Chain A
Amino acid sequence: MTTEAAGFKQIAVEDFRITDEPYYLPIQDEVELFEMAYERRIPVLLKGPTGAGKTRFVEYMSWRLHNKGSRSHEEGVPLITVACHEDLTASDLVGRYLLEGDETRWIDGPISRAAKVGAICYLDEIVEARKDTTVLIHPLTDYRRLLPVEKRGELLEAADGFILVMSYNPGYQSALKDLKHSTRQRFIAIEFGYPPRDQEAEIVQIESGVDAATAQDLAKLAEKVRNLKEHGLGEGVSTRLLVYAGKLIAGGIAPRRACQVAVVWALTDDGEVQRSIEEVVTSIFDE
């Protein structure tokens, strides 16, 4: 169901498909791994720091599986993304009753919809969700491929193309925010690190439209800043931020300033650390 109006487009979640090829530069064998997992219906866990390209990878795979006309999915694989958060409850995922007029009406949650249409269901930042919520997906991930809809007393069998993909950032690891073993052992895990300098430079160059030398410098900066992880920084600078910086530079903002707003200030609020990174920036960029 698609509604088009002036200025915006409204699509039902299950209808969302990626039609244009998203830019993605494979770093290792992750593309083949994912394809194989999809073929065998093995759920996938994407591990890695923020901004390393997990979401982009899922989008790319969704497009790729669609466009390759991969066997039974001539129509392509829809992608349903759920951003997980602390207050995400089971009903948010599965569905709930709403009052409408004098009666109640059942609304499917995103996971139910994905199961019905056979989509890639992408649970972004799964650790943020409450542990009692994550248990809910267990039956969907193994051979049963079932989603119990408790409130309606039903079982929903997932359509053929359905697969669960979750992402997770081990960087925040703390006792509170960790995946239960019963959950994590239902997925194969693909690790996403930051790309090596040259590849990262390529990504930044293509994504932001900045020249090759600047892209190299940005990648160099990223490498240096990431050295500070655990020594003042909780997380290294993401490729995404580099792309932002690149876009600003390509748009005519002075590199130092662009890095200040897109890298330094975005990374930390600690004055001392800010200053250190700023000095790295001024060492690398001339103006």
Chain B
Amino acid sequence: MTLLSDLSTRYGPELRGFGASLPDDFSAALAALEPQLGAEELDRWARDGVALANHSLRSWEAAAEYFRASPEIVGRLGADGLHEWADTAMRLAASSSLMAAAFLKATPDALAVLNTEDMEAWAGQGERLCRGNWKSIALAALYFQVSPSLLRSLPLPSVGRLVDVVDQLTERSYELANTCLEGSPAIFAGLSEDDREPFLRFARAVTRASWADTRLYFDRGPRLLEHVAAEQRAAFLDLSARVTTEVGRQGFPLFADAADALAQMPEEDHRDLLGFASRLAPGSPTSAMEYLKSAPFMRTRLNEQQMEQWQDVGLDILLAERNPEGAEAYFRLESTRAEETMRALSSRVELASISTMLRMYAKALSGEPVSVLSAEDLVEQNIGWVTESSATTEGSAIYLPPFVATFEEQDANFQVYKVFTTHQTARIEFGSFRYRWDRDGAFAPSSMAGREAAAHERRTASQERERGEAITSIQRFFNCFDDRTLISGLFTIVEDTRIDSHVAREYGGIRRWLHRLQEWEAERRPRVEEMALRQAFVENLLRESLRRPDTIRWPVVFREYLSQGLAALKIVEQEGATVQDSAEVAASLYDIATAIPNIITPLADGKHEWDGPTEEMLSLQPGMPSGADGPEMQPSDQEMQFENPPQPEFRGDFKPELVQLLARLKNQVEGGEDGAMAPLTKEQLMEMLENSVELSIAEWAEGDLDQSLGMFLENMEQAAQQAPGDKKPDDAKGGAEQDGGKGDGGEGELPVEIEWSYYDEWDFRAGDYRPRWTRVGERYGKEEDSDFYEETLRRYHGLVMETRKQFEMMRPEAFKKIKRLEDGEELDLDLAIEFTIDKKAGIGPSGRVYNRRNKLERDVAVAFLLDMSASTDEEIEKQRVKHEAGDDEDDNFDGDPRRYFQWLAARRAKAMVEPPKRIIDLEKESTVLIVEALEAIGDSYGIYGFSGYGRENVEFHVIKDLKEQKDDRVLKRIGSIEPIRSTRMGPAIRHTIHKLDEYDAKVKILILVSDGRPQDHGYGRDRTEKEYAVHDTKQALNEAKRLGITPFLITVDKEGHDYLKQMCDDIGYEVVDDIESLPRRLPTLYRHLAAD
């Protein structure tokens, strides 16, 4: 009997009764092993297998794996190794046979990458995951299953660290742990070798800080890293790990955002970026990440050196000033300092920062109430202007690109803005849009009547549809020409030449910059030699108009055409040339241009040699063309579609047709001077717009041209209805924009008009303002009815009379006599006698014997700011109960429900007759009283309410503006004061300050009436934080003081003392304990405040 059959017979029967295949597996393995093992060894092997199968209920599966794997690994392990292996499996099976099976199965593959001596450690790591429950078993099994491939990219100790992470995750979610482990092989295989360890380190940090983010990290991490420069990934991961250890749950989001930001930066910069970030990390990990996040934005504003300077300032805040919160805000770009530093460094000039100034500049130059707006606004109106980046005007406002970064120096870019503005203003000043049909120019008589007739004839001859009657003069002008693109392009060049000449003549100071920009443009012209002939002709005119005739290139044989064209162009360069001249010159240039075929000429045929300008061309005298007498040019079948060469940027868009149309529509709306003109029909408008080349209809919604046109017309009409005053651009300080419907203060339910202003907010941690952080929407309070006012007056009749009297007594007398002056209107007889007596008696007399009457004026302005937060809705009764808890009637019911219900019914009945008073009601009543009092004394006053939610929406309700008189509407608005939402005090105070500051008075007072501490969504680091809001409010109050305004706080919050003390420092405040005394207290307080 052979050894084989012997062993088979010995162990075979023991293996029966398990899975059907087990004996076969055994036999197959036996056969394979036999040549390699001795009898003893073979027997031990078989025994181990059988023991394993018998170990527990399902351990036979492990045994099956044992048998199957053995032949593969016997070569590596040897007989003793096999035995140890089996031992390990037995140990694992003690925890879970499933895990043991997975272990055994994975071994052959694992050994391909693992040293035999590490096997034990490898198995141990899996064992660690197993905690006895089935989820952990599955996880451990998964570990063995994935480890062969995992081990290919990670060394065993690293795998151990991964297990740590997974293990930690199991405390929260096995499912999550599973997913992460399952994905790991692919992830690590995808990472480069150097990044794997750092990836793992960061994973550990993320898991510790916020376990749920681990999945996100495993999911998205590798892809996020892809865009980080390969050799910087490890550094970035290490930085992220470090940051996450410090900042906790914010770690992963910061990492993700920073990675996104890095992706937007060129890879060669990553090294420096991360280098700087890691300098920030020790002092303020968040700053490091915020820096990376802000980098792409900063790079749009600053070049490399500037960027370095900018970040050094931030580093200084961190290191020299030891202010991590400040640095954080700085790098997050939420600090005024960051913005200012950026603005100072950047060569780019933003329109927003100079628009007010440019508006006044344009106003001064043109003498018209023009406004200066961003070109984006015009594009939004959708009335035919489409480029946001070029300057233009629609006749009443000047539109400029939102920023200029043409040159390296800030000043140069500012000058570019100035040239833009001057050119557009000059169009208004020098009448580019004042073209009138068939009027003579100063130098060129009109040829329009003849041209119109000729055009009519042409169209009749070619049986073309006759065009309808033109709406505007300029349209009628364009109608005379068949190629509207050409005539419009020529008119633009000629008119711009005229404008530039006027500007250069009138404004000697801007001339230099105008020329520099002309130069700049001239150097960037497209190559003229590559253009078709007619286009080249136009291009050459343009070069002349940019004062660079030396760059002209033109076929020698056609010289005469160009000479005549240039001479014509010179007409409008003369002083006194008008837009009529421009039109005539453009028309004559059109004649020349149409004689030139629009074909590409072969350069090398000798006949069409291109040349620069001749001496004669450079010294032409202005003159209208005498009729082209160059060589005849045959119409060619190679004629190309004519296109205008690109316009120089500084001249912007010129759309005279649309401007005249707008003006015409405006006139129609206002029933203006030309009231006799028939209103425009839709057909007329349609025709004009379809023909106009100033609109690129192609860009509109395809297909439904009719609808697009209709919408366009609507926009046009809307724009026409806007009074020029409506286009208020940003205010200098806060900046205001119009919202809601137009309509000039009409009655009824018009949408509320809101005027937005922006204010900074004080971040006490950063020790800096967050620029333009809050948006305050000012609106007028609703007008309900004045019943409330009258009712209050009736109810407080006695108090009203008393207050009024007290206040009337404060009113100063008109004149006051001042005695004992050295000089004055009249002698005081008594004093004069005394003087004489003293003198006679030899006593040093007092020379102060004159009187004088002085006028006294009281010049006080006060603004009341009422808290309209939701909490003021609280009934006073309830609040009292809250405060005086304990003493109450509950006890009196003695558990008798009947008595309780009686009491309740009585209370309800009472409430029906007299609704319970709320804090807001008292605020309103106090307002009524103070209004009466202030009317008696004659001080100027404003009453405002505030509330809102979040920094973007601080509601500011005007009950009575400082400038308003007390009238019925004001009284009605008082009635409408209602509780709304939160209490963001800072911005409301700042807005009130702004109002007071603009008001002219010697004494200014701000009184804030509230019912509690400032709080709002996002008014602090989190919901519970109170510090931030208190500090911001305090800062706002200090700002008031700095502007000479006396702030005073009144609160009905009994717990007010604690925060008010902190908030108010040396600012006056009062806690009104008995809420109901507020109406009495407020006037009294005011009297003291405004006493002198």
Contact = CB atoms under 8 A, between A and B. Distances in A.
Interface of A: 89-92, 96-97, 99, 102, 104, 130, 151, 217, 220, 223-225, 227-228, 231-232, 256, 272-273, 275-277, 279-286
A286 B508 contact: yes
A210 to B, nearest CB: 15
B365 A275 contact: no
B832 interface: yes
A99 B832 contact: yes
Given A283-B509, A285-B509, A276 B361 contact: yes
The 3 closest A-B pairs by CB, nearest first: A276-B360, A227-B367, A283-B510
A38 B360 CA distance: 44
A102 B836 contact: yes
Interface string B488-530: 0000000000000000001111111000000000000000000
A284 B509 contact: yes
Contact of B418 (A96, A228, A283): A283
Contacts of A285: 508-509
Contacts of B364: 224-225, 227-228, 276-277, 280
Contact of A91 (B369, B418, B825, B855): B825
A280 B827 contact: no
21 contacts: A89-B825, A96-B825, A97-B827, A99-B835, A102-B836, A104-B832, A225-B364, A227-B363, A227-B367, A276-B357, A276-B361, A276-B364, A280-B361, A280-B365, A282-B510, A283-B365, A284-B508, A285-B509, A286-B508, A286-B509, A286-B511
B827 A275 contact: no
Given A282-B510, A284-B509, A231 B825 contact: no
B508 A217 contact: yes
B510 A275 contact: no
B667 to A, nearest CB: 23
A272 B729 CA distance: 15
Contacts of A224: 364-365, 367
**Counting chain B CB atoms within 10 Å of each CB, which of A130, A272, A275, A280 scores highest?**
A280
A270 B364 CA distance: 16
Contacts of B357: 272, 275-276, 279
A97 B506 CA distance: 61
Q: Is the interface of B mostly helix, strand, loop or mixed?
A: helix
A113 B509 CA distance: 53
A159 B365 CA distance: 51
A227 to B, nearest CB: 4
A89 B357 CA distance: 44
A279 B411 CA distance: 12
B668 interface: no
Contact of A231 (B363, B422, B826): B363
Contacts of A277: 360, 364
A228 B509 contact: no
Interface string B48-91: 00000000000000000000000000000000000000000000
A285 B825 CA distance: 52
Contacts of B835: 99
B366 interface: yes
A276 B362 CA distance: 9
Contacts of A99: 827, 832, 835, 849
B732 interface: yes
Contacts of B512: 286
B363 to A, nearest CB: 5
A167 B71 CA distance: 122
Interface in B1059-1087: none
B356 interface: yes
Contacts of B836: 102
Interface of B: 356-361, 363-367, 369, 418, 422, 506-512, 732, 825-827, 832, 835-836, 839, 849, 852, 855
Contact of A228 (B363, B508, B511): B363
A281 to B, nearest CB: 7
A97 B359 CA distance: 58
A104 B825 contact: no
Contacts of B356: 272
Contacts of A96: 825-826
A230 to B, nearest CB: 10
Q: Is the interface of A mostly helix, strand, loop or mixed?
A: helix
A50 B367 CA distance: 21
Given A99-B849, A104-B827, A283-B422, A228 B507 contact: no
Nearest to B368: A227
Contacts of A102: 836, 839
Nearest to A231: B363
B373 to A, nearest CB: 16
B254 to A, nearest CB: 40
Given A232-B360, A286-B508, 18 more contacts: A89-B825, A90-B825, A96-B826, A97-B827, A104-B832, A217-B508, A224-B365, A228-B364, A231-B369, A272-B356, A273-B360, A275-B357, A276-B359, A276-B364, A280-B361, A283-B361, A285-B509, A286-B512
Contacts of A91: 825-826
B418 A130 contact: no
Nearest to B845: A99
A276 B355 CA distance: 10
Given A227-B367, A280-B364, A220 B827 contact: no
Contacts of A272: 356-357, 360, 732
A203 B832 CA distance: 54
**Counting chain B CB atoms within 10 Å of each CB, which of A92, A99, A102, A256 scores highest?**
A99
A266 B832 CA distance: 46
A99 B832 CA distance: 8
A227 B362 CA distance: 10
B276 to A, nearest CB: 36
B1031 to A, nearest CB: 29
Contacts of B508: 217, 284-286
Nearest to B362: A276
Nearest to B826: A91
B855 A130 contact: yes
A95 to B, nearest CB: 11
Contacts of A286: 508-509, 511-512
A275 B361 CA distance: 9
B827 A228 contact: no
**Counting chain A CB atoms within 10 Å of each CB, which of B359, B509, B511 scores highest?**
B509
A220 to B, nearest CB: 7
Given A99-B849, A272-B732, A283 B360 contact: no
A256 B507 CA distance: 13
A272 B732 CA distance: 8
Contact of B361 (A151, A220, A279): A279
A280 B425 CA distance: 12
Contacts of B358: 276, 279
B366 A227 contact: yes
A277 B363 CA distance: 10
**Counting chain A CB atoms within 10 Å of each CB, which of B366, B418, B827 scores highest?**
B827
Nearest to A90: B825
Nearest to B365: A224
A132 to B, nearest CB: 9
Given A96-B826, A232-B360, A281 B855 contact: no
A277 B369 CA distance: 16
B21 to A, nearest CB: 92
Nearest to A97: B827
B808 to A, nearest CB: 22
A228 to B, nearest CB: 5
A227 B509 CA distance: 19
Nearest to B508: A286
A54 B358 CA distance: 34
Contact of B509 (A92, A275, A282): A282
Contacts of B418: 279, 283
Contacts of A89: 825, 852
A109 to B, nearest CB: 11
Contacts of A231: 360, 363, 369
A280 B366 CA distance: 11
B852 to A, nearest CB: 8
